[in-house]
């Protein structure tokens, strides 16, 4: 029976990343004498090592082994917990993540970093301060002047019956270094007496490796009780341990003389029994699927059993309602109308609940996004030499998985900014009468249909004067411009804007805040800044709970129905003829209080036939995106409703001016307008038209779309 191990790799990876996250957060909380924490870190490392071994991620196993050794020493109290070691361990966690990711994608990893950390780990392990003689640490030290081992492996005859196959053990050993082996057939009975299920052979193996004895013994772990095992180190006789090849050839004749037969593992002993031969083929079979690594990263969600149970309950109820309704429909007469109405009501209720719980499956607590911040702040504190702590609140607030994945980077940026620009150095803080330690707080909560994430610091705050001066200097605003508070803060999100007096390697290059804003906007959210000079700043990120559902305004243009996202609409109004102005040739503007809003007829943009071409008979929906207001001319306003967003890209392609489609109550499809896209389209069209005119090309047909 062969099991395709590769099918378990995705879950191993998932568990490993969780383990790494746990290690990281526990390491940050690690205090002197806290054995429980160490234990849980150790367990996480151990299961990663075990799993990696099973799936043949040798690099991960080797590296994790070092980490484990260090942790083991800490656990046994042989090593004091100090911040230096914790730093190294944190770094090791990064390396493990790197290695596992490399193993997952079957790619190369940053070898320098791993090598560096490995040597630092080895160094730490080497200059072990404790004096008590311990077997394992001795082994570790001893390992450095041992170039290999002779292993005597005499299994009991019944070994094969327990499902153990020496071949697997040997191939695992061969991965550690150069392996030569010889089988001892002396025990073989005469052919008539052979029980094909018994194992009559014993082996003597010579392994040249830099692995230590414990690693070798670990390979024999499963058969330990059923065999006689001797592992004798071969002392390193040559000067350089790297000349294994030379050594091997030196040693070979010697070992050959003592044994009857010798073959390298590559040509597995074919001389033995028939069972062996059969197994030989099997080994190859099993190796193939293990190599075929799961490359495609299929996103998966871990869902609580309670959520699933709830879903099953609801589906059960739905089935009951359905059978009730169909029974009612079998022989329906007017007396049963009441029962029908109540049945339909029940159906409505069931569907609503079902929809809600299905949506809830996609929701994850925001702690998934927040988890990386303790480490980040810890690292930043060391880098900047400031003292700061991170307070996290509302980490149980749930958020759609897609939103969560995309909000991570902008949040990192904001937290970095808070640590670098916000929090002052200890001296400044003390001089200002603030506590020495700065506080950065992350908070998440629901507000209406949105989720709000607050990134707050008690640092210096934003100096509006400096922002203004900088903006003038960069030519972003006029010297005499009078800006409101929020307009000043909006300047922070202009590309290339930075107020940091010094550019550090953490932040201050002014690249980023504009990206942060763009990312948040692409999620359909917005960012808001509050700040008091000397007291601190607060960045509030408002995000929609989910990307799958949108509040929309249904509008009619000709025979088509379109949906305008409610969040983009400034106001909808009946057009007053007196407020329409035609300027600079053919541009139609609408005076909306102080603003002049360009009017864009949707029927023209999308080339639709409509009777409603007169501006004064139509309705105007004023929308805003990227700070640009525009008036969309529509025939009629219909209902407002929540719509489920469906992608057009799945079966078709992206359409300019359309962000997606949805299915209305009557089963028909309606397009959702992409407001920023439409503004972009209108601009491009205007430019095109202008070029046509200046070219003197009067062919109107080119303007008319097909």
Partner 1 sequence: MNIQAMAQDIPVEGEHTMEGVDFITSGDQYLTFLLAQEQYAVDILCVEEIRSWEQPTKIPNAPSYIKGVINMRGIIVPIVDLRLKFSIGEASYLDTTVVIVLTYHNEGNSRTIGFVVDAVSDVLNVDNADIKPAPAFGGCVGPQYIEGLINSENKVVTILNVAHLQKVEQHRLHS
Cβ proximity to partner 1, 151 vs 550, nearer residue: 550
Q: Does 648 bind partner 1 (CB under 8 A)?
A: yes
Cβ at position 296, least distance to partner 1 in Å: 7
Catalytic site includes residue 413: no
C-beta closer to partner 1: residue 34 or 297? 297
Cβ–Cβ < 8 Å for 577, 570:
no
- Closest separation between CB of residue 355 and partner 1, Å? 13
Question: What does 500-544 look like in DSSP terms, one character per residue?
Answer: -SS--SSS-SS-SHHHHHHHHHHTT-EEEEEEETTTEEEEEEEEE
Member of 584, 650, 665, 694 binding partner 1 (CB under 8 A):
650
Looking at 24, 62, 68, 213, which residue is catalytic?
68
Q: Could you tell me the smallest distance in angstroms from the CB atom of residue 669 to partner 1?
A: 4
Please give the residues from 523 up to 582 whose contact with partner 1 meets the rule CB under 8 A.
560
**137 or 553, CB closer to partner 1?**
553
Active site residue 417: yes
Would residue 108 show up in a list of annotated catalytic residues for this protein?
A: no
Residue 343's alpha-carbon distances to 315, 317, 329, 337, in angstroms, are: 16, 12, 11, 10
Query: Which among 388, 517, 493, 363 has a CA at the least distance from the CA of 442?
Result: 388
> Residue 418 is encoded by which pair of tokens?
């808070």
Candidate residues 684, 690, 691, 693; the one interacting with partner 1 per rule CB under 8 A: 684
Report the residue number, 30 or 673, with the smaller CB distance to partner 1: 673
Q: State yes or no: residue 646 binds partner 1 (CB under 8 A).
A: yes
**Signed CA dihedral, 427, 428, 429, 433: sign only:** positive
CB of 667 to partner 1, least distance (A): 6
Q: Which residues contact 438 (CB under 8 A, 6 or more apart)?
A: 386, 387, 388, 389, 422, 423, 424, 429, 457, 458, 459
Q: Give Cα separations from 18 to 47, 98, 222 (angstroms).
A: 11, 14, 27
Per annotation, catalytic residue among 65, 198, 215, 417: 417
> Smaller CB distance to partner 1: residue 26 or 674?
674
Length of the chain: 706
Q: Compose the 586-605 pattern: x for residues touching partner 1 by CB under 8 A, - for all others.
A: -------------------x
Q: Are strands 587-592 and 595-601 parallel, antiparallel or unpaired?
A: antiparallel
Closer by beta carbon to partner 1, 573 or else 644: 644
**Contact indicator for 213, 139 with CB cutoff of 8 Å:** yes
Q: Is 699 among the residues that bind partner 1 (CB under 8 A)?
A: no
Q: Residue 594 CB: number of other CB atoms within 10 A?
A: 5
What is the number of alpha carbons within 13 Å of residue 105 lying toward its C-beta?
A: 8
Nearer to partner 1, 3 or 698 (CB): 698
Tell me which residue of 367, 445, 449, 375 sits closest to 416, measured CA to CA: 375
For residues 637 and 530, is the Cβ–Cβ distance under 8 A? no
Distance of closest approach, residue 575 Cβ to partner 1, in angstroms: 23
Site string for partner 1, 653-672 (x = CB under 8 A): x-xxxx--x-x---xxxxx-
- Report the nearest approach of partner 1 to the CB of residue 413 (Å): 33
Contacts 24+ apart (CB under 8 A), 579-582: 580/615, 580/616
Tell me how far, at minimum, the Cβ of 676 lies from partner 1, in Å: 15
The site map against partner 1 for 274-303 (x = CB under 8 A) is: ----------------------x-------
Per CB under 8 A, the list member of 29, 162, 326, 647 interacting with partner 1 is 647
Pairwise CA distance, residues 255 & 204, whole Å: 9
Measured CA to CA, the distance from residue 176 to residue 79 in angstroms comes to 29
Binding region for partner 1 (CB under 8 A): 296, 560, 605-608, 646-648, 650-653, 655-658, 661, 663, 667-671, 681, 684-685, 688, 705-706
Positions marked catalytic = 46, 68, 417
């Amino acid at each position: 029976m062969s099991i395709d191990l590769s099918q378990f790799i995705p879950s191993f990876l998932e568990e490993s990343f969780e383990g790494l996250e746990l290690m990281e957060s526990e390491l940050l909380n690690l205090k002197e004498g806290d054995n429980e924490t160490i234990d849980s870190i150790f367990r996480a490392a151990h299961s990663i090592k075990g799993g990696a071994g099973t799936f043949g991620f040798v690099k991960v196993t080797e590296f994790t082994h070092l980490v484990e050794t260090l942790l083991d020493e800490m656990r046994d109290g042989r090593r004091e917990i100090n911040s230096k070691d914790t730093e190294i361990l944190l770094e090791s966690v990064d390396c493990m993540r790197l290695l596992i990711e490399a193993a997952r994608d079957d790619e190369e990893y940053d070898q320098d970093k791993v090598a560096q950390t490995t040597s630092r780990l080895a160094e730490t392990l080497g200059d072990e301060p404790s004096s008590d003689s311990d077997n394992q640490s001795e082994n570790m030290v001893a390992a450095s002047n041992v170039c290999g081992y002779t292993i005597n492996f005499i299994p009991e005859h019944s070994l094969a019956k327990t499902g153990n196959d020496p071949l697997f053990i040997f191939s695992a050993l061969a991965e550690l270094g150069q392996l030569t082996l010889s089988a001892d057939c002396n025990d073989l009975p005469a052919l008539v007496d052979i029980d094909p299920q018994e194992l009559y052979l014993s082996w003597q193996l010579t392994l040249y490796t830099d692995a230590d004895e414990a690693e070798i013994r670990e390979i024999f772990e499963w058969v330990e009780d059923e065999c006689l095992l001797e592992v004798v180190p071969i002392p390193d006789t040559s000067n350089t341990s790297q000349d294994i090849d030379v050594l091997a050839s030196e040693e070979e004749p010697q070992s050959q003389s003592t044994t009857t037969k010798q073959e390298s593992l590559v040509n597995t002993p074919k001389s033995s029994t028939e069972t062996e031969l059969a197994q030989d083929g099997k080994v190859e079979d099993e190796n193939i699927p293990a190599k075929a690594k799961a490359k495609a990263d299929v996103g998966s969600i871990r869902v609580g059993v309670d959520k699933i149970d709830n879903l099953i309950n609801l589906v059960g109820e739905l089935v009951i309602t359905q059978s009730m309704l169909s029974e009612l429909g079998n022989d329906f007469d007017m007396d049963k109308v009441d029962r029908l109405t109540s049945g339909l009501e029940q159906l409505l209720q069931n569907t609503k609940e079902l929809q809600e719980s299905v949506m809830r499956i996609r929701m994850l607590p925001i702690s998934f996004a927040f988890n990386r911040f303790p480490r980040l702040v810890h690292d930043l504190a060391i880098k900047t030499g400031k003292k700061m702590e991170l307070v996290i609140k509302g980490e149980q607030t749930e958020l759609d998985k897609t939103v969560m994945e995309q909000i991570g980077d902008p949040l990192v940026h904001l937290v970095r900014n808070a640590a670098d620009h916000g929090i002052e150095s200890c001296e400044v803080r003390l001089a200002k009468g603030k506590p020495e330690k700065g506080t950065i707080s992350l908070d998440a909560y629901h507000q209406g249909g949105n989720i709000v994430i607050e990134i707050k610091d008690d640092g210096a705050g934003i100096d509006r004067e400096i922002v203004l001066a900088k903006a003038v200097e960069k030519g972003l605003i006029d010297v005499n411009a009078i800006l409101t508070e929020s307009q000043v803060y909006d300047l922070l999100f202009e590309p290339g804007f930075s107020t940091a007096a010094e550019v550090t390697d953490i932040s201050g290059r002014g690249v980023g805040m504009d990206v942060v804003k763009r990312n948040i906007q692409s999620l359909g959210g917005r960012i808001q800044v509050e700040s008091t000079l000397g007291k601190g700043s607060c960045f509030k990120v408002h995000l929609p709970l989910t990307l799958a559902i949108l509040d929309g305004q249904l509008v009619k243009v000709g025979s088509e129905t379109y949906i305008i996202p409610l969040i983009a609409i400034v106001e909808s109004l009946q057009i007053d003829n007196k407020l329409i102005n035609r300027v600079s040739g053919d541009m139609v503007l609408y005076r909306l209080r102080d603003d002049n809003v360009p009017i864009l007829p949707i029927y023209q943009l999308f080339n639709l036939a409509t009777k409603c071409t007169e501006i004064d008979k139509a309705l105007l929906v004023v929308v805003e995106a990227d700070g640009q207001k525009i008036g969309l001319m529509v025939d009629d306003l219909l209902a407002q409703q929540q719509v489920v967003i469906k992608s057009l890209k799945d079966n078709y392609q992206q359409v300019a001016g359309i962000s997606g489609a949805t299915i209305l109550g009557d089963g028909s499809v309606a397009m959702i307008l992409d407001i920023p896209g439409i503004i972009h389209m209108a601009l491009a069209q205007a430019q095109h038209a202008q070029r046509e005119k200046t070219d003197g090309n009067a062919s109107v047909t080119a303007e008319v779309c097909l």
